[in-house]
Structure 1
Amino acid sequence: MKRSLRALFVALCGVFLLAGTVCAAESPMATLQVKVDQILDVLKQPAYKDPIKRVPLRAQIEKYVHEIFDFGEFSARTVGRNWPTFSEAQKQRFDTAFANLLLITYLDKVQGYNGEKIAYTGEVMSSKGDRAEIQTVVTLSDGKAVPVAYRMMLKNGRWVVYDVLIENVSLIKNYRSQFQDVLSRGTPEQLIDKVEARARELQAQSAVN
């Protein structure tokens, strides 16, 4: 399980570094492949191992995250059928809280990058050409191979990632089950409070490390 989670965070480096200026004519796989190489180059820099020098590099990754990761789409799909019950103000607050939670979690995890490799094994397009699933295999430093698939959509002329599957387990569905459990017993405000609290907790831990 720990290895699979490690693969998730390595793979998500690629998700987070798809630049927002991609030409729509470029295939989603090509887009992903180029930008994964960029993030790996950042992680390989000796400065990234220094807590102080790492700060601007983390800020660079965060910038790329906001350029590519459609948190509105991700939030709506993760909350699922309960999303229409959120007010516009609640949706905006949840988007911000969930984005912060993901950012803090993944930025902390990718600090442990240890030479993992990513191989691109397939690209499946939808019949309309506006959806794609990019299939990859992440090879960990101990040789274990973990399948990782990226689900992407063409939105406003550029490819964005809206879900990731690790060993056929959807990130969206995983969070959705957790959030629906909270919403079945509480309100949107209570869910938002929990997400914000968790983000603050991880931020405090990150500051210590």
Structure 2
Amino acid sequence: MKKSFCHVLFLATALYFAMATAVAAEMAPDALIKETSQNVLEIVKKDKDIQAGNRQKIYALVDAKVLPHFDFKRMTQLAVGKYWRQATPAQQDSLIKEFRSLLVRTYSISLSTYKNQTIDYKPVRMLAGDTDVTVRTMVNQPGGLPIPIDYGLQKNADGWKVYDVVVDNISLVTNYRGSFASEIRQSGIDGLIKVLVDKNRVAETSGAKG
């Protein structure tokens, strides 16, 4: 994973941190992102524990405020690709659980990297009745080049859900697809599940980024 990709993933978290109090289904996805992100970045700026890397506080924050607004089933399905249909329901549940844990740690680590970046929002191209859109933003880094971040959102019965984040032209979902496919070809779906379980266990015990 590219350094810049991991470094700015905190924005993927930040943009949806306050959605628990927003009526997602009644807002346009770009308006929702802009409104919630500004509130969240202010919170991150003021929270010294998050900036200092308090893992337990960050994990709890992500679990309570962020995860309800991501479609982890679709994200996992896209990451596993054509092999998803070969998995049993039990294997699918395990893949979702472990991939979710992997991404939680990635987002959590990223939350502590906020260094006064600002965000420019581009107008969303959306027709009436659209249920799948891309929201494009540009992250301006002090002393660095701006980084584009695009969000893939789908509107479900309970509102807009994020199913992919593309940072500097690298998709979160497809970033894992190649390694997942390779592992499945070598060791099957159970082999991939074991790799994810082991990776998450090591991250939990050692504080690794995952």
Length-normalised TM-score, structure 1: 0.88
What letter is aligned with 1:10? F
1:77-111 residue CA offsets vs partner (Å, 9 max, x unmatched) = 11111101111111111111111111012201221
Query: Is residue 177 of structure 1 aligned with residue 178 of structure 2?
Result: yes
Task: Provide the C-alpha distance between the structure 2 equivalents of 1:37 and 1:58, rounded to a whole number of angstroms.
Answer: 21
Match of 2:13 in 1: 13
Change over 3 Å in CA distance of 1:60–1:4 after alignment to 2: closer
Task: Provide the C-alpha distance between the structure 2 equivalents of 1:133 and 1:86, rounded to a whole number of angstroms.
Answer: 29
Match of 1:120 in 2: 121
8 A Cα contact 1:126 1:132, kept in partner: no
What letter is aligned with 1:11? L
8 A Cα contact 2:59 2:104, kept in partner: no
What letter is aligned with 1:193? K
Deviation at 1:135, TM superposition (A): 0.5
Match of 1:90 in 2: 91
8 A Cα contact 1:150 1:164, kept in partner: yes
Change over 3 Å in CA distance of 1:15–1:101 after alignment to 2: farther
Structure 1 moving runs of 4+ over 4 Å:
none
Length-normalised TM-score, structure 2: 0.87
Match of 1:48 in 2: 50
State the secondary structure of the residue aligned to 1:123: coil
Deviation at 1:16, TM superposition (A): 4.4
Match of 2:72 in 1: 71
State the secondary structure of the residue aligned to 1:125: coil
8 A Cα contact 1:118 1:138, kept in partner: yes
Task: Provide the C-alpha distance between the structure 1 equivalents of 2:133 and 2:126, rounded to a whole number of angstroms.
Answer: 4
Task: Provide the C-alpha distance between the structure 1 equivalents of 2:163 and 2:127, rounded to a whole number of angstroms.
Answer: 15
Matches within 5 A, 1:60-209: 60-125=61-126, 128-206=129-207
Task: Provide the C-alpha distance between the structure 2 equivalents of 1:89 and 1:122, rounded to a whole number of angstroms.
Answer: 41
Further displaced range: 187-196 or 197-206: 197-206
Identity %: 23
Task: Provide the C-alpha distance between the structure 1 equivalents of 2:107 and 2:165, rounded to a whole number of angstroms.
Answer: 13
8 A Cα contact 1:14 1:32, kept in partner: no
Task: Provide the C-alpha distance between the structure 2 equivalents of 1:184 and 1:119, rounded to a whole number of angstroms.
Answer: 41
8 A Cα contact 2:16 2:33, kept in partner: no
Task: Provide the C-alpha distance between the structure 2 equivalents of 1:153 and 1:110, rounded to a whole number of angstroms.
Answer: 24
8 A Cα contact 1:138 1:148, kept in partner: yes
Further displaced range: 55-64 or 15-24: 15-24
Task: Provide the C-alpha distance between the structure 2 equivalents of 1:181 and 1:160, rounded to a whole number of angstroms.
Answer: 28
Deviation at 1:153, TM superposition (A): 0.4
Change over 3 Å in CA distance of 1:120–1:162 after alignment to 2: same
RMSD over aligned CA atoms reads: 2.2
Change over 3 Å in CA distance of 1:146–1:49 after alignment to 2: closer
What letter is aligned with 1:14? A
Task: Provide the C-alpha distance between the structure 2 equivalents of 1:153 and 1:169, rounded to a whole number of angstroms.
Answer: 19
Deviation at 1:67, TM superposition (A): 0.9
Structure 2 unaligned blocks of 5 or more = none
Task: Provide the C-alpha distance between the structure 1 equivalents of 2:18 and 2:132, rounded to a whole number of angstroms.
Answer: 16
8 A Cα contact 2:154 2:163, kept in partner: yes
What letter is aligned with 2:49? A
8 A Cα contact 2:49 2:57, kept in partner: no
8 A Cα contact 2:18 2:40, kept in partner: no
Task: Provide the C-alpha distance between the structure 1 equivalents of 2:149 and 2:112, rounded to a whole number of angstroms.
Answer: 19
